[in-house]
Chains A and B, each alone.
Chain A
Amino acid sequence: MNRRTMFEKIWDAHVVKAEEGKPSVLYIDLHLIHEVTSAQAFDGLRLAGRKVRRPDLTLATMDHNVPTTDRTVPVKDPISKKQMEVLAANCEEFGITLYDIHHKLQGVVHIIGPELGLTQPGMTVVCGDSHTSTHGAFGALAFGIGTSEVEHVLATQCLQQTKPKTMEIRINGALPMGVTAKDIILAIIGKIGTDGATGYVIEYTGEAIRALSMEGRMTVCNMSIEAGARAGMIAPDETTFRYVQGKPHAPQGEAWSAAVANWKQLPTDEGAEFDRLVEINASELAPYVSWGTNPGQVLPITGVLPNPADIENPADRKTVERALDYMGLQPYRPINGLTVDRVFIGSCTNGRIEDLRAAAGIVQGQTVAQNVKAMVVPGSALVKLQAEAEGLDKIFVAAGFEWREAGCSMCLGMNPDILSPGERCASTSNRNFEGRQGKGGRTHLVSPEMAAAAAIAGHFVDVRTWKK
């Protein structure tokens, strides 16, 4: 029998029509939408007199530009406010379920899909957001799309897609203490580069991946796009089934048994071939910190910054020069001990309950350094509720962190949560591009544990050896 990868199985199961020389028409099982990339798509529908084919496979929320402060006061920024009002009106007109800024199920779109049980193995999931790759953690094919494609899915519940290549990234062995899922993905991007997986769908395999919780797997898949990948995915197993079971939209009774029986057929067949293999030994990984202006510019916490003078290729040398200059850093400086001004814990990368627990474990009984302003933004209203039930909010607040409402917040700084020029931030988010968290702001990507420790110490420390 033909041996197939998990990606190929899911792809094959969703091809509505395939013709030689044309992209395949692929069916989409779940379409998530938010306020920033959907308005123009709905306008397109109205212009063409088209309807939403499957409002029942579409879910909307507000996350990108929502304020994370008191929700009982009106949204101050009139343009953000308008964008939210337009989404609400569009959902009303086209019959789409919306969890708006005041809803108890509101949150970052990639956090609420899984927590509501809407993200399940074997599905195709799309959203007008590049971090849609997060949902691949369940053994789903999930990828980000532009607004024209949002309109396409709304109108047809399908997309025209050319089949990407496949890449296996195998993480052998067990992670050392203090090294997390975030460090795995930062190490991968550091190794293959921000365009290392362009044109590929990645499947993450190996012992270290199998040992991760669903939260950890989502963190890894979330940043697949940062390596240029179309999508990232992890085969479903008992960890996956345990997570999905009992969630509001999970199958129940006989449907559950039927679903699990099918999901067990999804993992890549023994002997199936990937177009490319990358192997990494987990035992060699350390906590990572990004030093530059793209997520491939990372160092283990024990590392020192590069010197452009050591780089032969002129284009690469210029890139490193620019990055050091923007980040206000000197060649050969150790990354350990670098002072930070701000700490942000949250985002679709690290805003789930397990991330907040890990950070709270570091913060408990400590005080945020005087030079640091720190905040925690739960990924969803449900995560916030859960954290408060566990008393995590009290730990953060007692230490001097701000405890906010759910949203994307300072990950992309579309709402009022932004860095000032020159400010240096330890951030659990996914992008350290110039100006990403505010014009002139300097972002260092780290795990929740590393961010929490930096908040307390006032500078980057090695969480493996750091004494509070």
Chain B
Amino acid sequence: MDAFKKHTGVVAVLDRANVDTDQIIPKQFLKRVERTGFGEFLFFDWRYHEDGSVCPGFELNGPQAAGASILVAGKNFGSGSSREHAPWALLDYGFHVIIAPSYADIFFNNCFKNGILPIVLPQSEVLRIMNAASTANSAKDQFSLTVDLDNQTLSDGGELNIRFDVDPFRRHCLLNGLDDIGLTLQNVDDVDAFEKRRPIYMPVVAALSV
């Protein structure tokens, strides 16, 4: 996983609550067996009409959101399915940071595993960012933020300066791009010892003949 330290990018606003993973990446695109290539299908059912033409009214299709890498959204973002295809699609599209008042647990966790920083801010701060970004309405007049994970701040370079909290261990892993399987494997002796203590009645899988 790539390390995440500081990121500056264009902000896209998706002012909707409870955006679920079925919207982020509809199920017809879950059949790929790779981790890449999902970006073109991000929010597919919202981005495109039935005939394949672009829905001009969808937030991400506007010129102010072109090339955006920071997504600001409503509460409970990423609810629903555990599909990691959702963060893969966001990342592949170009998003490195998400800002919302709250997230669904599994999605939140999946983001960190892929080097995406999901920032939790109070509703009022999220609204401030949404309002500031909403003044942008063309490709020339885009709203950008700089997110500094080391100092836990985000700023528009002007009056908007916000501090955010992030779990210290997750921050450490993101800053250093740590492979958490590698971290667990450092405890292999403990795992060995644990397995010796497991009750013998616990089931093991064996192919049943029927």
Contacts and interface: CB of A to CB of B under 8 A. Distances in A.
Interface of A: 16-17, 21-23, 25, 27, 29-30, 36-37, 39-40, 43, 48, 50, 53, 55-59, 64-65, 77, 79-80, 82-83, 86, 97, 104-105, 116-118, 120, 123, 128-130, 132, 144-149, 151-152, 155-160, 162, 164, 194-195, 198-199, 225, 228, 230, 248-251, 255-256, 258-259, 262, 294, 315, 318-319, 322, 412-414, 421, 431, 433-436, 439-440
B202 A228 contact: no
A29 B202 contact: yes
A413 B27 contact: yes
12 contacts: A56-B204, A77-B31, A79-B32, A145-B106, A149-B113, A156-B185, A160-B183, A198-B76, A255-B200, A319-B18, A433-B20, A435-B26
Nearest to A64: B30
B79, B188, B195: residue with the most chain A Cβ atoms closer than 10 Å: B79
Given A120-B202, A148-B114, 12 more contacts: A79-B32, A97-B206, A118-B203, A123-B202, A146-B87, A146-B106, A148-B110, A155-B181, A225-B106, A230-B105, A258-B201, A434-B23
A82 B207 contact: no
A257 B105 CA distance: 37
Nearest to B112: A148
A27 B191 contact: yes
Interface of B: 16-18, 20, 22-23, 26-28, 30-35, 45, 50, 74-76, 79-84, 87, 102-106, 109-110, 113-114, 167-169, 180-181, 183-185, 187-188, 190-191, 194-195, 198-208, 210
Given A256-B201, A262-B199, A435 B22 contact: yes
Nearest to B169: A22
Contact of B205 (A97, A147, A319, A439): A97
Contact of A248 (B17, B28, B80, B208): B208
Contact of A195 (B32, B102, B110, B183): B102
A201 to B, nearest CB: 10
Given A195-B104, A439-B26, A144 B180 contact: no
B23 A104 contact: no
A86 B201 contact: no
A80 B32 CA distance: 9
Nearest to B107: A146
A225 B87 CA distance: 18
A431 B185 contact: no
A33 to B, nearest CB: 11
Contacts of B79: 194-195, 228, 294
A59 B69 CA distance: 38
A40 B184 contact: no
Given A79-B31, A152-B180, A160-B180, A146 B105 contact: no
Contact of A156 (B168, B184, B199): B184
- The 5 A-B pairs at the shortest CB distance, nearest first, are namely A148-B113, A39-B33, A146-B84, A146-B110, A144-B82
A86 B33 contact: yes
Given A16-B187, A148-B84, A65 B106 contact: no
Nearest to A412: B27
Contacts of A144: 82, 106
A16 to B, nearest CB: 5
A163 B202 CA distance: 23
Contacts of B167: 162
A156 B204 contact: no
B82 A130 contact: yes
Contacts of B110: 146, 148
B77 to A, nearest CB: 10
Contacts of B27: 412-414, 436
A414 B28 contact: yes
